[in-house]
Structure 1
Amino acid sequence: MTDITPAPPRRPILGALGVVCAHIEGEDCVILVKRKNPPNAGTWGFPGGHVELGETAAEAAARELFEETGVIAEPGAQLMTLDVIPRNADGSVGGQYFLVATLCHYMSGQPVPDDDALEARWVPVARIEDLGLELLDRVADLARMAQIARREESRVAPNAPIT
């Protein structure tokens, strides 16, 4: 008799996005990276990756931001969650990712591509869709959401430095 163990159920993978919004050279900007590896190689999005066992999504966001760009930031409020369900050519589900986007407060460093990033840079929120970058879905919306959240935080805490 052959012991046939069923394959473990396929489940969504938990990921984190580190969303930094800061005032750079007179404009509100976010840090974006151009992905080196699949999925989404060649497209621009926020630094991010898998949440490791024992790590919060916020901690993962700050870690991934540092690993991909060298920028140090303190994780703050959760901005949104995203369900990403890539489809195969035949329409079947090719995987599933549940991403937690965290607003990260810039502390130091300049974005330099590392880890799985081909490029990393500050991108002005007001012109994010006009720069010819191949953006992943919801990147522009999330950038504007981060801009609003950053401005709201500075309004609520007027003595806090605006980065």
Structure 2
Amino acid sequence: MAAAFAHPRVGIAAIIPNAEGKLLLGKRRNSHGSGTWQFPGGHLEFGETYFACAEREVAEETALKAQAVRLVGVTNDVFKDLGKHYVTLFVLCRTLEPAAEPELLEPDKCEGWYWVEWDEVRAWCEHHDDADPRWEDKKCFLPIRNLVAEQPDIKFSS
């Protein structure tokens, strides 16, 4: 078992829709949740606002310039087998350069960035535990699964 946290940590997930309404997701690697789909994001740093964190993480991971718009959800994410506990804040962001495409700036942490329909992500979450090979490559990170379970009809308009 990995080292447990003494206290919950704050994770930030940046939800970035493109002009067609698809959301930016990447596949995690080399960390807890490796192989699952995630939004850009990371840990809130000391003294940082969650909007600033979302904007910073988007720039660090994708090179996109984004502006945080509003908080759209909060989940309580306990990774029991790893002894990790996060409170994840989902921040809706808009790109400042709508035609820009994400770059893979941290290939050790993410396999690549893709634009995905929210309805598709919800379907992936609904079939997370299915043994069917059609869903094998469509597993979402625990905070996204919790967001879908807690707010199935969430909308991402700014």
Give TM class, smaller chain.
0.7 to 0.9
The residue aligned with 1:100 is: 89
Aligned residue runs from structure 1 range 1-163, under 5 A: 10-24=6-20, 28-88=21-81, 94-108=83-97, 109-115=100-106, 116-128=109-121, 129=123, 132=135, 133-137=138-142, 139=144, 141=148, 145=154, 148-150=155-157, 153=158
How many positions carry a matched residue from both structures?
A: 134
Inter-partner Cα distance in structure 1 for 2:143 and 2:86: 14
Q: TM (normalized to structure 2)? A: 0.74
Larger radius of gyration: 1
Inter-partner Cα distance in structure 2 for 1:125 and 1:81: 17
How far apart are 1:113 and its partner, in Å? 2.0
How far apart are 1:80 and its partner, in Å? 0.9
* Cα RMSD (Å): 2.4
Judge conservation of contact 1:32–1:123 (CA < 8 Å) in 2. Answer: yes
Mean Cα deviation higher: 109-118 or 127-136: 127-136
Percent identical among aligned pairs is 24
**Do the aligned partners of residues 120 and 144 (structure 1) sit closer, same or farther apart at CA in structure 2, a change above 3 Å counting?**
farther
How far apart are 1:99 and its partner, in Å? 1.0
